[in-house]
Each structure stands twice: as structure tokens, then as C-alpha cells.
Amino acid sequence: MTQADARLSVLKTYKLYVGGKFPRSESGRVYEVTDAKGRWLANAPRASRKDARDAVVAARKAVAGWSGATAYNRGQVLYRVAEMLQGRREQYVAEVADAEGLSKARSAAQVDAAIDRWVWYAGWTDKVAQVVGGGNPVAGPYFNLSAPEPTGVVAVVAPQESALLGLVSVLAPVIATGNAAVVVAAEERPLPALTLAEVLATSDVPGGVVNVLSGRTAEIAPTLAAHQDVNAIDLTGADAELARELEVAAADNLKRVLRPEPPYDWTADPGTGRLTAFLETKTVWHPTGGLGVSGSAY
Amino acid sequence: MPRIPTAAAGPPASLADVTASDAALRRFLHGLPGVDPVGLEARAAALGTRSIKTTAKAYALDLAVSMIDLTTLEGSDTPGKVRALCAKARTPDPTDRTAPAVAAVCVYPDLAAVAAESLAGSGVKVASVATAFPSGRAAPEVKLADTRAALAAGADEIDMVIDRGAFLAGRYLEVYEQIRAVRQAAAGARLKVIFETGELSTYDNIRRASWLGMLAGADFIKTSTGKVGVNATPANTLVLLEAVRDYRAATGVQVGVKPAGGIRTAKDAVKFLVLVNETAGDDWLDNRWFRFGASSLLNDLLMQRQKLRTGRYSGPDYVTVD
């Protein structure tokens, strides 16, 4: 037996990511995370509804700063996250291979696609306003301008199958436009999401903009769906029965609900659908003054 | 109902001689048992871990709402802001009429008249700070004039500050005489004496100040102004609560306690109520004997009430912005 084999391996107990910090679950619970073959990989925290509440409070605090940052600055911050993801590529390849039971090559392809997708959304931050906003022609002496604004706090039920590429595909568009997110990580495969939290904490994303909860989706998601201070919810990772329950709960304060139709193909071109799902349009009417004999007052 | 002896008469016969001279008062205050800071903070922290749930929580939340002195003490206060605050004091949650009214609205003396007019007939008291709040650095006659102006404007309760400079310099009798003077000027009103515990530097000093205030006839002893770095903490409030408990045991006179500043969440408020119940006893669990000086606390209490009622976490969109 070599000396390296004689050493006991250290299994990691992951923590939640709330408000830029890494707390344990308020409930003190953890659960075992296994790889695709059922081998014990690590412990993940099992968040309670109070953790969900705390995450929403943290997200609400972060909304003003993040949505108030310039779109260019948000793009820079998100690009920085992609750089950090690239730096941890090997770790992600191993984690995704374990979680999804993929070969190393196919796992690497998933990780590369996830990093590319993050960069793609980073580029969208200062372009989305031109695409979905702009001047409107109106019959009167007004400048009429529509501008997109972030919806606010968005709860994201991350996809259950694709632990990294799927997660990035639902999270990046939410925060690119200035929302703050509370993510419920994939129940059986939470490690890539919890590692992403470690990346976010060490890049320039302000604390609270992304909050990651792991645990039983059916336990955490209903609290978020019913929470009066959550403005929108993405039901991607909820099965049909749970999605229906969440949609009913979300109706009480008229949350925006995104309920896409499975099956999902995360390798396809994502389009701008997710980017615009959590935007509100503000339209401003600005009087241009009476029209003089020469036409416009300008 | 048995008649509760009031504090207004000054020290009871058994303690009359301790205020006879500066030396006697110093001897008495320095003869009080010292506070063990480590034990005190451990005790306060331990009581903060009690789990208060369901019906007990509902009771505690309503009690805490009814104990609030809803406070606005800013240079930017306007009559309009005070009127808005008074409307909130009468009906804290317009969507739920079962929410109790708060105990009082606390303002600067020049706005006491506005508050008195807005609160007429509601049972909510008008409290006014006075005596050169918050520093207390003014000539004694100015402090008395400040007090009289607040009373003339319709204040039911006067929140005075002690002269911390004199207290820290050891001129206890001077502090005592100043409180007595305000006590006499504010005859008929309830007098709250603010120690500004954050400036007294030791728990021993807080205990001495508490006894000094009670001997001088305070109806309430209050931790702080809310204007310095350290305001009400569970530990310094615990010192005050022990003082009022011991004072009643010694003299039969009951004195109220008001922590102020820095209490922002329902959770904190419930911890303070546990302290009250476990230290002074349930005689103090009433807004006649315990108050919270706070402003943002009310919104959090209302959100917690909504959560209990509907089972859904509420948010700041569902309470008023002050």
C-alpha cells in the first residue's frame, strides 16, 4: 500500500450560499449526495423554509445595487465569473462526470458549453435594452420611450438533470438583466451548483445577487412560490405535479411565472426567451412642446 | 385594583437619607453590587435562545406592537411626516384591523402639538423628548423650558436625557437634582429618563444610573437615545430590568423600562419580552411598564403577523414606507 492510499480521504460537507456568505442550513440538516453509480460523494446542506426566507431577504437587499449598476459593469462582472469558471474547469469536469454519469470527454463538452453560455449572456447585458426597448411612434407631440427593467427577486428551480449547463442556462439570463436570484439546486445533483456559489463568491458578483439553496425541491420551492416578496419564479426544474402546485401558490401576489415545456435541450441555441422573461417594460411619455410653424419645437 | 405607589413622590422614606448629600449618594450608588459582565451577557444570550412559537408567538407579536413608542427624531421631520406616523400608530396594519394600536408616538417638542392633534381620542399617547435631546448639553433653565414647551404642546410623556458629563465626572447629586427639577416641571406627565447606556462605558455605571433615575422619581428608565453607536442591547436592558425588580422589592414602587434604538426585528423584540418575563416578571408585560423605542420594528412585527395569519412570508411591499 502506498502512502497516498493509506491517507483517509476528506469528504466535503458543502454549505448554502446566502447573501454572499456560506451558512449551514438553519435546520442543521445535511443529506448524502451520491454519484450516478450510488457512491457517496459528499454531504450537501438540506435547506429549510427559513433558509429560503433568509435567501429572499438577502436577494431583496441586493436588488437595488445590482439593478442600479450599469449594464456594462454587469457584463464585466459576469465575464469575470466566466474567467473563474474556466480556472476551475478540471474540477467541474470531474463533478459533472460524477453527477451525470458521463464520460470525461462528454462531461468536458458540457462544461465548455456552460462557460460559453455564461460568456454569451455576459455579452447580452448592455444589448438587451436596444432589442426589447426603444422609441415608439405615437400620434402626438411626445417622445415615447420604452425601456426594460428587471423584475426584481426571481426564484429559480434549477433543472434536475443537467447540473451545470442547465443551471447556467437558467441562472445567467436572470442576473444578466439585473434581477437577483434564489436558486434551488438540482436535488440529486447539487454539487456543481454549490461549487458555482464558491466561484461567484470569489468573483465580483455582489453578495445576495445569487443565493443557492440545496435540499428537497418539494420542500423549498413552495415557500418561495408563496413568498410575497418574490417577484417571479422559474419552474424549469419542477415536475408537472409540483409545477402546478407552485403556479397556484405564485398566483397570490401575481408573480411572473416561467413554465417551460420539457424535455429541455440545453445544447440548442438558447435564444433571448429566458433573457426577456423576467423584464418589465417602463414607458416614458415626454412632451416635446407644441409644434411651431417650422414643425418640431426642436 | 390595588393602588400602585407612583414614583413621582421621590425616594421613599426607607431611602430618603441616601440623597441627603453628594457623599451619601455616592456611597449608596457605589455600594450597589457590582455587575459581572461575562455572566450578564451570557444570561442575556441564553434567554435569547428561547423558542417562542404559534399562539405564544402571536401573543408576543401583538404585545410588542402595543408596546411600541413609534419614534421619529430627525432634523428633517415635518408636520406631514408626523401626521402620517400618527395615522400608522392608530391603525398599524390597515389590511388587518385586529392589529393593536401602538403605545405612543415619540417626537421632538416642536412637533408634539401636531402629534397631539392627530392622536386626539385614539388612546395613543404623545411622548416628547426634552431637555436638549439627545446630548443634554444645555443650561438647566433651558432644559426646563424645553420640558414645559413639550407639555404645553400636549405631550403626555416626557423623555428626558441625563447629563452624562456630570454623571461620568461623579457629580451624582447634580444629576439627581436635575432629574428632580424636570420631574417637578413635568408633574402629571409620565417621565422617562434616558441614560444613554452606550456612553456610560460600564455595566456598573448603568446600574448606578438606573438607581439614580429611580430615586429621583422616574416613571420609566430608558436605555438610549438611538443617536449613538451602541444603543439598546439585551445585556444593558437586563441591567435595567434587574434594577426595577430590585427597586420594587426594596420600596414597593414599580418603574417601567424602555429599551430604544437598534431593535429592528420581531425576533429581537420577542427576545426582549423573554428578558422582561424572566427578570422583572409578568407584571411588566404591559405597555404601561415596558416600551420599545423604535420605528422600523413595527413593519417587521406587522410582516410577521401577516405570515402567521396567511402562512406566506410577507414582504416590504405590504407595509407602509415611513
Q: Which of B313, B316, B317 comes nearest A53 by C-beta? A: B313
Active site residue B258: yes
The residue of chain B nearest to residue A61, with distances taken between CA atoms, is: B316
Name the residue among A241, A211, A175, A172 with its Cα closest to residue A45.
A211
Q: Which of A56, A223, A228 comes nearest B318 by C-beta? A: A228
| Mean predicted confidence (pLDDT) in A148-167 | 97
Distance CA A146, CA A136 (A): 7
Tell me whether B229 touches chain A (CB under 8 Å): no
Indicate the pLDDT class of residue B31, thresholds 50, 70 and 90: very high
Tell me whether A227 touches chain B (CB under 8 Å): yes
| Mean predicted confidence (pLDDT) in A159-182 | 97
Q: Which of B312, B316, B317 comes nearest A252 by C-beta? A: B312
Q: For residue A123, is it within any domain?
A: yes
Using an 8 Å Cβ cutoff, are A161 and A192 in contact?
no
| Mean predicted confidence (pLDDT) in B177-189 | 95
Number of C-beta neighbours around residue B230 at 10 A: 14
pLDDT at B321: 82
Task: Write out chain A residues lying below 8 Å of B318, CB-based.
Answer: 228
Tell me whether A48 touches chain B (CB under 8 Å): no
Query: Mutate which of B53, B309, B312, B317 to test chain A, going by most A C-beta atoms within 10 A?
Result: B312
pLDDT at A291: 59
The overall average pLDDT reported for chain B is: 94
Tell me whether B49 touches chain A (CB under 8 Å): no
| Residue bearing cell 427559513 | A50
The residue of chain A nearest to residue B306, with distances taken between CA atoms, is: A228
pLDDT at B6 exceeding the cut of 60: no
Using an 8 Å Cβ cutoff, are B252 and B6 in contact?
no
| Mean predicted confidence (pLDDT) in B102-113 | 97
Tell me whether A223 touches chain B (CB under 8 Å): yes
Indicate the pLDDT class of residue A1, thresholds 50, 70 and 90: very low
Q: For residue A1, is it within any domain?
A: no
pLDDT at B178: 96
Distance CA A107, CA B17 (A): 86
CA atoms within 13 A on the CB side of A236: 27
| Residue bearing cell 433573457 | A275
Domain count, chain A: 1
Q: Count the residues in chain A.
A: 298
- Percent of chain B having pLDDT more than 70? 97
Which helix (H) or strand (E) segment is B319 a member of?
none
pLDDT at B3 exceeding the cut of 70: no
Kindly report the nearest CA distance between residue A227 and chain B, in angstroms. 5
Kindly report the nearest CA distance between residue A231 and chain B, in angstroms. 10
Q: For residue A296, is it within any domain?
A: no
Convert the pLDDT of each residue in A194-233 to its tens digit. 999 999 999 999 999 999 999 999 999 999 999 999 999 9
* Distance in angstroms between the alpha carbons of the first and the last residue of chain A: 86
Residue ranges of domains in chain B: 36-311
Convert the pLDDT of each residue in A112-137 to its tens digit. 999 999 999 999 999 999 999 999 99
**Which domain covers residue A56, as residue numbers?**
14-34+41-287
Convert the pLDDT of each residue in B74-104 to its tens digit. 999 999 999 999 999 999 999 999 999 999 9
Q: For residue A294, is it within any domain?
A: no
pLDDT at B1: 39
Q: Count the residues in chain B.
A: 322
Distance CA B26, CA B176 (A): 11
Quick one: B36-311 is in which CATH superfamily? Answer: Aldolase class I (3.20.20.70)
Q: Exposed, middle or buried, B2 (CB in 10 Å: 0-12/13-18/19+)?
A: exposed
Neighbouring residues of B27: CB distance < 8 A, sequence distance ≥ 6: B18
Convert the pLDDT of each residue in B252-310 to its tens digit. 999 999 999 999 999 999 999 999 999 999 999 999 999 999 999 999 999 999 999 99
Tell me whether A251 touches chain B (CB under 8 Å): no
Beta bridge partners of B190: B157
Active site residue B222: yes
CATH code, domain with A168? 3.40.605.10
Tell me whether A53 touches chain B (CB under 8 Å): yes
Q: For residue A61, is it within any domain?
A: yes
Q: For residue A97, is it within any domain?
A: yes
Convert the pLDDT of each residue in A23-67 to its tens digit. 999 999 999 999 999 999 999 999 999 999 999 999 999 999 999
pLDDT at B14: 79
pLDDT at A99: 93
Active site residue B17: no
